[in-house]
Structure 1
Amino acid sequence: MFYESCLVSNPFYGEYQLTEEDCVSCEALEQVDRLGSVAYEHLLDSYLNRDAPLIVMDAMESWPVMNTDNFWFDNITQLYLQDEKLVDTVPCILTTNLRPGSSDLHAFLKRINSPKIDKWFVHWQNCDIHAVKALRKFYQRPYFLSNSVSPAHFNWVLMSSDYTTKIYKKVELDSGLIMLAQLRGSTSFKLTPHNPCNSSCPELLGDLQEGEMLVFTNFMWTFEYYPGRNLDNVAILTETVWEEGAI
């Protein structure tokens, strides 16, 4: 059992496997569209139900965090360091160039608070319910989503400081509706079709600027990114349960 990739078989897994027939939805895509004032019906019919990603340019204009001049990673790190419910939280995934040696998020955040530490990146997934709820103070439900869509079940933090690279970092996501909100700085991303569609559909590359949101369902796409060439970059990614044709 040590060498098995999954201890318990999921009887529904086969429903989400791509087939050659699914690839017609992505074979003609050439770029990720950028839109504003998006209606939910248009988002659903023209993009999500067709496995086409898009960038919503005005998704975050009303969010208080976007109008806070001094917002930066201190706000997020202090959230975890000062909330007693979050002191012992352990992220399901933590990736960084600083080689923390463990998934001790508390120790890692204390480390990057030091002015002696520079040129770093990190992303981690919150799966502990207290951490998921706590991070929600930094984002809101986008205006273009129907109230029938469930809140995010997991969320991620992507941060960097003066870290320059063109090597993509892969983020292992659960199946569902994925939304990446750029709070500060920018992010370069790559969306790659899953097998077997990777042989007939192109990779989609793009840059997400401050205040923009990348929206896609990862039934079709894997997501990779690297931080923008800004001094500071902060983004929050959410994973939401999604069914084809959701209304």
Structure 2
Amino acid sequence: MVGRRGRGCSGPRSLPFSRKLSYFDGEFERLHRRRLLPGSESEWCRVLEPLLRCGAPPTGSPGRGGGGRGSGRIAIAAGVLLLLGCLALCSRSCAGFLSFCGRALLIQMLPYWDWTLYSNSDCLIGNPYYFERGLESLQLTDCINVCRRYPTVESLHRADPKIVLQNYLRQNLPLIITDGTEQWVAQTEFTVPFLTQLYNGHPVLQNTVVCSYWDSLHSLENSPGAFLEKVHQQRPAQWAIQWKNCNKAAAKVIRAFYQRPYFLPPVVELAESNWLLMASRGEGGGTEDTFIKVRDHDGDLLMWIAQLQGVFEVQLLPKDICAGLCTHYTLQLSPGETVAVPLQMWEVQYRPFSSTAVGLAATGNWLQDPR
């Protein structure tokens, strides 16, 4: 009996690993067919005891480096594997433990270094372009300076972003950029038929809801695609529509047709959303009191409107205390021109000046030094 066990133990140990697996699978299959597999945990231990004993060196036998050192290495390896397993499976709890240790260390450091001054600060490094929200309010001197020094809206070509920031945006002065849409795909592609097909055929634009929707026909669908299709079929004498692509995926589809305006300095952070403004004017008629306001600015301080097709007549109305001191500006945007408007002082409204006009707009925040 002892001899059989010795031969059985020495045989599998000399086989390759894959053959060992096949051997043990055969043994379990044989036991299963003969219904000799145990039904309890203690019985399993009794049956597997010979197999386990074959894999371990006899007690007291000199192994490589000695039995004590071998078991110590096994214990160290098991501890390292256990630690790595805990880090992999319990990352949240480990992160919480490390965070606790870090906080305890910081508390011990307080007598030697007051780190609370940095912890309570909004920024570790001061931003020279940052200003408090309370400084946004208009002053009477701002209105006087703008109205006296700026009787008309100036136009720039090949504008320097630094000049745009220093001489216009920080002074609440609107300006027109004559080459603001060069190399934009939207300049040639954004026609009424193209936008109708785009909003009725693109899966992202079909399945997203727009914001700040308005049209002159008071449609119930609040869908640009449905409205443009209705215009294509009914061909009304005059119509107007504007909407805001506030969904990130939809706004990204529209942004694929244009780039960031080159004249905006890096300190201007553009919003993710964008507007499309479209309107048509009937032959010879009735454009009085048809100005459309661009609303829902989300508190942004800058808006730019790029003229893509036709001509828009744009009015800039002074806000707050400047309304009684300044008159409004009226300007006409031709295809390729872009108007940049500081929203802190001005409100924007527009209407078509040609048969059909298409514009693209977006907002952003421009930053200035504290006063």
For the criterion TM > 0.5, the same-fold answer is: yes
2:292 counterpart letter in structure 1: K
Helix, strand or coil at the partner of 1:133: helix
Aligned pair 1:136/2:255, yes or no? yes
Q: Deviations over 1:112-168 (max 9, x none)?
A: 232544521111112111221111123211222234533432211111234451321
What are the equivalent positions in structure 2 for 1:1-247 lying under 5 Å apart?
A: 14-28=134-148, 29-66=150-187, 68=188, 71-114=190-233, 116-163=235-282, 165-167=287-289, 168-174=291-297, 175-228=300-353, 230-244=354-368
The question of whether the paired residues in 1 share the 8 Å contact of 2:212 and 2:296 is answered with no
For 1:236 and 1:78, how far apart are their aligned partners in 2? Answer: 17
Instruction: Give TM-score scaled by structure 2 length.
Output: 0.58
Instruction: Tell me, in whole angstroms, the C-alpha distance in 2 between the residues paired with 1:124 and 1:148.
Output: 27
One-letter amino acid matched to 1:91: V
- Tell me which structure has the larger Cα radius of gyration: 2
**Letter of the aligned partner of 1:65 in structure 2?**
A
SS at match of 1:113: helix
- What secondary structure sits across from 2:327 in the alignment? coil
SS of aligned partner of 1:191: strand
Is the CA contact (8 Å cut-off) linking 1:153 and 1:241 kept in structure 2?
no
**Structure 2 CA distance for aligned equivalents of residues 123 and 195 of structure 1:** 25
CA deviations 1:50-107 (Å, max 9, x no partner) are 01001011112222333x3x65122222222222222132222122211102423342
RMSD over aligned CA atoms reads 2.3
Equivalents in 2 of 1:79, 1:54: separation in Å?
Answer: 31
The percent identity for this pair of structures is: 31
Please state which structure has a larger fraction of its residues in strand.
1
Give the number of aligned pairs: 232
Q: 3-state DSSP class of the match of 2:147?
A: coil
Higher relative helix content: 2
Which whole-Å CA distance do the structure 2 matches of 1:173 and 1:222 have between them?
11
Rounded to whole Å, the distance in 2 between the matches of 1:194 and 1:237 is 20
Equivalent AA in structure 1 for residue 247 of structure 2: D
* Stretches of structure 2 lacking an aligned partner (at least 5 in a row): 1-131
Once the 2 structures are TM-superposed, how far is the Cα of residue 242 of structure 1 from its aligned partner?
2.4
